[in-house]
């Protein structure tokens, strides 16, 4: 069964350093997402990406964050200068289509196993 993969599973970095989190979405999917979950808190939307550009982003997704699909396969999240409060689990997700398929049906978002980011 196709699945979303993420690397690394755990990343430890020093405050102020840049990190790149990598995701390989399911191959025929067109919509890509990043979510994060701070320990003990809810899953929060960061950004959605479609047709090689950002479709929507949250207030959390400030200038320190960027996303890219460099080679048609990987989908990356870069944090330019990490802060302590960036420590969280980062989940990548992908879906075949967006909110509706034209029939009003939901296109399930499949989540990757996550990357745990620890900023020291």
Partner 1 sequence: RKEVEQDPGPFNVPEGATVAFNCTYSNSASQSFFWYRQDCRKEPKLLMSVYSSGNEDGRFTAQLNRASQYISLLIRDSKLSDSATYLCVVISPSGNTGKLIFGQGTTLQVKP
Binding site for partner 1 (CB under 8 A): 31, 33, 35, 41-45, 48, 50, 55-56, 89, 91, 95, 97-100, 104, 106-109, 111-114, 116
Instruction: Give me the sign of the Cα torsion angle 85, 86, 90, 92.
Output: positive
Q: How far apart are CA 66 and CA 88, in angstroms?
A: 17
Question: Cα–chain-centroid distance for residue 114?
Answer: 9
Going from the C-alpha of 60 to that of each of 3, 37, 63, the distances in angstroms are: 27, 12, 9
Residue with smaller CB distance to partner 1, 9 or 27: 9
Closest separation in Å from C-beta 16 to partner 1: 26
Whichever of 14 and 113 has its CB closer to partner 1, that residue is 113
Least Å distance, CB 86 to partner 1, is 18
Of 25 and 112, which CB lies nearer to partner 1 in the complex structure? 112
Minimum CB separation of residue 113 from partner 1 in Å reads 5
| Nearest distance from C-beta of residue 93 to partner 1, angstroms | 8
* Cβ atoms within 10 Å, residue 104: 7
Q: Which CB atom, from 20 or from 89, has the smaller least distance to partner 1?
A: 89
């Amino acid at each position: 069964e196709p699945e979303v993969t993420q690397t690394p599973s755990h990343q430890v970095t020093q405050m102020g350093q840049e990190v790149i989190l990598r995701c390989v979405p399911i191959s025929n999917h067109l919509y890509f997402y990043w979510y994060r979950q701070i320990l003990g808190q809810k899953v929060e939307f960061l950004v959605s990406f479609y047709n090689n550009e950002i479709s929507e982003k949250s207030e959390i997704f400030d200038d320190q964050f960027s996303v890219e699909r460099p080679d048609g396969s990987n989908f990356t999240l870069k944090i330019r200068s990490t802060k302590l409060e960036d420590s969280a689990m980062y989940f990548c997700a992908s879906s075949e289509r967006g909110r509706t398929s034209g029939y009003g049906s939901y296109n399930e978002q499949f989540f990757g196993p996550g990357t745990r980011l620890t900023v020291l």
